[in-house]
Structure 1
Amino acid sequence: MLNVRGIARFADRHMMPDKVRVTRAGGEEVLDPETGELVPAVPLVVFEGKAGLYPQQEKIRSRGRDGAWTEEVRAGYRLLLPVDAAELEEHDEVLVVEARDAQAVGRTYEVTTLGEVSSFPMLRTVWMEQHDRSAS
């Protein structure tokens, strides 16, 4: 019999060495009482905790207007999260807070699809594209 909890614990210990903060744009604009202007709402933190960041290149083959096939390689990323993490949505922003790879700290990514689901959930997998490097 498959020990789902054991595999989930293994993944948590060995495949998620980093720490991320995931925020979601905060809905409607709010009134700034000091300026009297509408400003974007404060983003909502939907997850903060352990994660694993893994690169994933995609080869895309498409036909151009002239009928010739072209190949493009796009860099993407997989984010592994604990199975009990909140469900992420498209356009959520992921900030790498701590990482084994020092160059990853401060980078931000945009979630491109809903997280994968499974009949035997052991961890959550979310697909992302690199967005920017945080100013902090």
Structure 2
Amino acid sequence: MPLDQTGIARFAERHLMPDRVKITRGSGEDMLDPETGDLIPAPPLLVYADRAGLYAHQERIRGKGSHDGAWVEEVRPGYRMLMPLCAPEVQEDDSVLVEEARDEQAVGRTYRVAALGEVSSFPVLRTVWLEERNRKAAS
């Protein structure tokens, strides 16, 4: 009996994606401000605004970092964002804003998409890797 992908996907959405995010993409183009006649950055394009789940992930990087040629290991914080399969594809440098979250300290934080979303032969959700941009203290 084959596995039911849709059942697994529904389970993942219900239990692994409790937060709400907004993903935007800058066009990199300027537009004319009719009031001032100045060129200003175009407003970002809304890519996605719905459910997601954010999970911390530590990345270990090893490289030559000292003057004597010794290998240095660095641990960098990263984040993995889970989204439903129906979510549109995100691109590197898209911005992610956490609008609602179970963890109140996550609300208002922004992230940069660090890599294209992962693909799979048995897709049940989308996985996207993020880097934190800023952290606003809760008020």
TM-score, length basis structure 1: 0.95
Moved over 2 A (4+): none
- Of 76, 82, 85, 1:83 maps to 85
The reply to whether residue 127 of structure 1 matches residue 134 of structure 2 is: no
What per-residue deviation string (whole Å, max 9, x for no partner) do you get for residues 42-80 of structure 1? 000000100000000011111135310101110000000
- For residue 46 of structure 1, what is the aligned residue in structure 2? 47
- For residue 59 of structure 2, what is the aligned residue in structure 1? 58
Identity %, equivalent residues: 64
The 5 Å alignment of 1:23-38 reads 23-38=24-39
What per-residue deviation string (whole Å, max 9, x for no partner) do you get for residues 101-130 of structure 1? 000000000000000001111000000000
Distance 2:20 2:99 in 1: 5
* Cα 1:128–1:40 shift into 2, 3 Å: same
Distance 2:57 2:122 in 1: 23
Q: Quote the RMSD (CA, aligned, Å).
A: 1.3
- Of 99, 102, 113, 1:100 maps to 102
- For residue 12 of structure 1, what is the aligned residue in structure 2? 13
Tell me the secondary structure at the aligned position of residue 120 of structure 1.
Answer: coil
Tell me the secondary structure at the aligned position of residue 55 of structure 1.
Answer: strand
The 5 Å alignment of 1:111-126 reads 111-126=113-128
Query: Structure 2: which 5+ runs fail to align?
Result: none
Amino acid at match of 1:61: R
Tell me the secondary structure at the aligned position of residue 115 of structure 2.
Answer: coil
- Tell me whether 25-34 or 98-107 shows the greater mean CA deviation: 25-34
Query: Structure 1: which 5+ runs fail to align?
Result: none
